[in-house]
Amino acid sequence: MSLLTDLVNLNLSDCTDKIIAEYIWVGGSGMDLRSKARTLSGPVTDPSKLPRWNYDGSSTGQAPGKDSEVILYPQAIFKDPFRRGSNILVMCDAYTPAGEPIPTNKRCNAAKIFSHPDVAAEVPWFGIEQEYTLLQKDVKWPIGWPLGGYPGPQGPYYCGVGVDKAYGRDIVDSHYKACLYAGINISGINGEVMPGQWEFQVGPSVGISAGDELWVARYILERITEIAGVVLSFDPKPIQGDWNGAGAHTNYSTKSMRSDGGYVIIKKAIEKLGLRHKEHIAAYGEGNERRLTGRHETADINTFLWGVANRGASIRVGRDTEKDGKGYFEDRRPASNMDPYVVTSMIAETTILWKP
């Protein structure tokens, strides 16, 4: 008799050319990922060849009940690590039936910025360091922590090894491999300073691809934690007190910054970011004020400063960039729950298009 796992792992290519496409989009809160699946007649590799679809926006906080239809536009395709074979994950954005982006569709505006000739010519690269916390399902307390209590102080957990230091490595490694399978440009993982907290990095990715890849990487992680019975949290300060928060440090460079003499361009870009500090902070994630306190490797939320190798700065420039006179810099302000479409496009818009 077949086991459930046997049926879940059925290889459809043995009996049909049809595939399953999982359509993914961002829900009404701006952080809740939604998805549903449909059958297609055969393999597809070009998102423009995929059919548009609709969903009930009144059930996701994105449309009124009397006019609830929202249309999904397929934008990027990834291999499905769960169903495998020729099955796919499809990152979508959402529009009204009249073709207008709904208010929670942040991808549309980002795509306009990245398609601007001046931005496209600079080939902006992004590397996003996504921190997150794994929580016990019933008590919403970090995994590995004693119920109602605390582990030993921070120190041994960052990049730590051992049953008393690294909690949830099976989930983290499963996610790493699943992202590689999907075709996401995931570049690494590590345990973070607070126990039960981890990080993965996506990039370098060009332009709008950074947002697509990070959202799908988040989706894959949420699916894996669903299987594991663990809650995934992107709260920027999940535990109050003397514990590190969770950010999404965003590494950035342009063609000019990567070329000889690029350090001058980098410093000019940082100056422009400083002039628009308040606008960026307002768009860099909910609850970020609980994280950006000037402690735990952050700069105070009301203060803009940059420095070489300074993890207490708003913007960190690496030693190699200073030495080589070209390279990239890291914006350390974005919270773990930021929208990568918003953050990446805003950095590009400020540093390339904005005239102070």
pLDDT of residue 1: 66
Determine the Cα angle at 56 with ends 51 and 61, to 5°.
125
Kindly report the pTM of this predicted structure: 0.96
Mean pLDDT of 100-112: 97
Instruction: Report yes or no: 247 and 335 within 8 Å, Cβ to Cβ.
Output: yes
Per-chain mean pLDDT for the chain: 96
Structure tokens at 131: 């921190």
- Tell me the pLDDT band of 8, cut-offs 50, 70 and 90: confident
pLDDT in tens, 227-281: 999 999 999 999 999 999 999 999 999 999 999 999 999 999 999 999 999 999 9
Instruction: Report yes or no: 245 and 296 within 8 Å, Cβ to Cβ.
Output: yes
SS3 121: helix
* Phi, psi for residue 71 in degrees, rounded to 5: -105, 130
The residues, any chain, with a CB within 8 Å of residue 308's CB and separated by 6 or more, are: 316, 317, 318, 319, 322
